[in-house]
Every structure is written in C-alpha cells, then in structure tokens.
Amino acid sequence: MREPIATITPSPARRLVSFLVLAALGAMLVYLGLAMAGGGLFWQLVLIGFGAAMLWLAERLRRATALSILLDGQRLVDSSGRELCRLEDIERIERGAFAFKPSQGFLIRTRRPAGPRGWAPGLWWRLGRYIGIGGTTPAGQGKFMAEMIALHLHRRRQAAPAGRDPGGGDQERG
C-alpha cells in the first residue's frame, strides 16, 4: 500500500462513550429480562434478546473502531486492508448539513456498487453505490479527507478532454 494522504482514526473518548452506552443498555435489558417477575415469558425473552443484541453491537463497535480509514492516491481502505472503494470509481462526495451521512463525516457516491454491503459501526457503512464515513471519528480528520477526495475529483474533471465529463457527473455537494 502507498503512503496515506489522509487518515481518520476514531477518537478514544467517543469510542469509549459509544461502547459504554451500548454495553450499559444491553446489560440493563438483560438484567430487566432476568429480574422481571410476572411480566410473562414472552416479554422476558424479548428483553433478553434485545439486551444480547446490544451487547453484540457494543462488541462490534469496539472492534470496528480499533481500525482507521486510510486514503492513499488510489483507494480508500481501512487499516485491516479492506478496500472501501477506488478513487477512480468515486462519482461525488456529499458533506452538507442535509446530506444523509454519518455524524462528523461525509457520504461518497460511486459510479457502480463498490462491493458487498458492509458496516463497521462507528466508522463506515457501504450500501450499493453509497459509502458513509464517520461516526466516532473526529470532524477535522473527516473534513480533511473529504477535501482531499474533492480535490482528486476536481483534478480528474480538469484533466478530462473538453466536453467530456469523466465519470458521469463528477461533483461535490456540501
């Protein structure tokens, strides 16, 4: 892999708070399900099931936020090497206040689906042609990475022959 141009690393404080909130919710739901007397077996199982789901989600978040997102000159990857998308496939980036994006992050739209659906809680998600970056990440790092991607899109647009739009509508929103 090439030297990263930009890196997004989840902040330890947000990581900890997110994990603790989910783990506490899960523990409380499991406790309520076990301690509930006379509420009916169905509701006990529902509470225990939701509690277990929250504990599972807390663990997924803890593992996912141990990673970083790296932007090199060719692709966007996480620190485990999983490719999120190639820069040449990015059609546009959205980072405005009303964009459907993760907290402190941005949304990437690709020309074609960038891979199978994926989700790293608190870090990124991918659904079809859309990739959301952010969550437990610092705003400054997310903004810098978004600017670097926008700069790449601008350079690609400038390098295209006159009258030809490279990528079917390269644009930045936000």
Identify whether 43 is part of a domain: yes
pLDDT tens digits, one per residue of 91-102: 999 887 777 788
Q: Report if residue 162 sits inside a domain.
A: yes
Residue 4 lies in a domain: no
**In degrees, to the nearest 5, what angle opens at C-alpha 141 toward C-alphas 113 and 15?**
90
CA dihedral 114, 15, 63, 120 (to 10 degrees): -20
Does residue 55 lie in a domain region?
yes
In sequence order, the 6+-apart residues with CB closer than 8 A to the CB of 163 are: none
Q: Is residue 90 part of a domain?
A: yes
Whether 170 has a pLDDT exceeding 50, the answer reads no
Q: Identify whether 45 is part of a domain.
A: yes
pLDDT of 86 strictly over 60 = yes
pLDDT in tens, 23-55: 999 999 999 999 987 778 899 999 999 999 999
In a domain, 27, yes or no: yes
Tokens of 47: 């509470």
Q: Answer yes or no: do 75 and 111 share one domain.
A: yes
Are both 79 and 54 inside the same structural domain?
no
Task: Specify the number of domains making up the chain.
Answer: 2
pTM of the entire structure? 0.80
Q: Same domain, yes or no, for 141 and 88?
A: yes
Cα angle 174, 10, 77; round to 5: 75
**Domain residue limits at 21:** 10-64
Hey, is 136 helix, strand or coil? coil
Residues 79 and 131 in one domain: yes
* Burial class of 97 by CB neighbour count within 10 A (0 to 12, 13 to 18, 19+): exposed
The 3-state DSSP class for residue 84 equals strand
